[in-house]
Chains A and B, each alone.
Chain A
Amino acid sequence: MIHNPYFVIFANSLWSGIAALGFAILFNIPKKVITTVLFLGFLAGLIKALFIHFEFNIIIATFFAALSVGIFSIPFASRVHKPIVVFSIPSIIPMIPGFFAYKTILAIRQFTFYKIDNVQRDRMLDAIFSNGFMTLFILFAITVGVSGPMLILGKDMTRRLKD
């Protein structure tokens, strides 16, 4: 049971929901939307983990996870009468590529602080660029995914949702 990959994915998604909720509290969200954030964070974690499980690229996985947050936010927003950002921002925070950002900076550290030979320099350059662009593209994926539905639906929907 414990080593079933789907069980692991489910458990990790729950932790992703908790991480989203933690940041939501830090950002002082209204009490009414706590369960929504927990659910959306869980959903985002689940979709991202499933896509990665089926060997999609992490950028694509993140995009679809963010997109699902963007889409599911709309019915929630119309039900609790709160602007979408209130629960969409905390829910996608766990997907922010902090880990890639550090790897970039650590590679820069090794590139500049240590005496290394040419082979290692090449490796470090590769690490700086791959991790740096990974960070940038995951950020793109998150922001396009989460704000995409509202950008497409446009002004009319904004007015109807009072977003």
Chain B
Amino acid sequence: MNRKTNIEESINLLLEISSLLMSSGANTKRVIDSLNRFAQALHFKSHALISHKSIIMTLIDIRTKESYTVVTQIPKYTVDLTIVSDISRASWKAIDSKWNYQKINQKITAIKNKKKYPLWIELVMVSLAGAGFAKLFGGDYLNMSLAFLATFIGLFVSKKLHNFAVNVYVRVFIASLTASGIAAIGVIFFIGSKPEIALATSVLFLVPGVPLINSFNDLYNNHILNGLVRFVNGFLVVLSIGLGLISIMLLFNITTL
């Protein structure tokens, strides 16, 4: 293979790996570490500037000192810990068993096409989590069932909107509006002992846990800029959730919470 195409192909593969990791919910340190391991396996030295929306990477051939720089856009963020786990594993294996370009490419394609959980399992499990939250905040079984129903429909709406190119904050707002609207039925008709708990917990499935945790992880690892971006991102999502909830409360004139 021609050296020029070799370095070009490698950098495109490495950029694909890094943006896949970023969009699946890895923190910046993990992205850089995995990237360096893959680059080492391919006999390159990599330097990358990773921001929330794009990655700039320079790849240097260790022997010829030839370098190549490419900028890429990071696709839409969807948390997928299987991808994070498998790529991290693969990066160690690439070093230990000296994988070449073809082998890494094959592995990444396999990881990308791995099957996900079916939608109904996801919906039922997250709704159970919603019911669990209602229990944790002291609700009874009627509150829990209402939280289950609200989470179920709210998550379904959120998943459907995710397929369209809807702005993330609009999507969260609509999902929060739907979920709290269903839970508000309980407050209006006094279902269960503490209906306002079902209302408060119905939207908890939207809480941006991974961006917030990654935000602090980035801050501790001195990726301050990325940490702040993630924090603001999480804060805006919380704001959208709150806006949905507030709209429903103003609409049905609910004052207790």
Contact = CB atoms under 8 A, between A and B. Distances in A.
A91 to B, nearest CB: 11
A27 B80 contact: yes
Contact of B125 (A15, A25, A93, A143): A25
B84 A83 contact: yes
B129 A22 contact: yes
B85 A12 contact: no
Interface in B118-136: 121-122, 125-133, 135-136
Given A99-B200, A101-B238, A83 B132 contact: no
Given A22-B129, A105-B242, A27 B210 contact: yes
**Contact residues of B: prevailing secondary structure:** helix
Contacts of A96: 207, 209, 212-213
Task: Give the interface size class of chain B.
Answer: 35 or more
Interface string B79-93: 111111110110010
A23 interface: yes
A152 to B, nearest CB: 12
Contact of B200 (A11, A25, A83, A102): A102
Contact of A109 (B132, B207, B246): B246
Contacts of B164: none
30 contacts: A18-B128, A20-B129, A21-B128, A22-B128, A23-B205, A24-B81, A25-B125, A27-B210, A28-B80, A28-B82, A29-B85, A82-B85, A82-B89, A85-B26, A85-B85, A89-B210, A92-B209, A93-B209, A94-B129, A96-B207, A96-B209, A96-B212, A101-B242, A102-B242, A102-B245, A106-B245, A139-B213, A140-B216, A142-B213, A143-B217
Interface residues on A, range: 35 or more
A98 interface: yes
A15 B257 CA distance: 22
Interface string B81-117: 1111110110010000000000000000000000011
B30 A85 contact: yes
Given A102-B242, A151-B220, A89 B128 contact: no
B239 interface: yes
Contacts of A26: 79, 122, 125-126, 155, 205
Given A12-B136, A85-B84, A163-B88, 20 more contacts: A15-B136, A21-B128, A23-B205, A25-B122, A26-B79, A27-B79, A28-B79, A29-B85, A83-B30, A85-B85, A86-B85, A89-B81, A98-B203, A98-B207, A105-B242, A106-B242, A109-B246, A142-B213, A143-B220, A147-B217
Contacts of B84: 83, 85-86
B181 interface: no
Contacts of B238: 98, 101, 105
Interface string A128-163: 000000000001101110110001000000000011
Interface in A11-40: 11-12, 15-16, 18-30
Contacts of A28: 79-83, 116-117
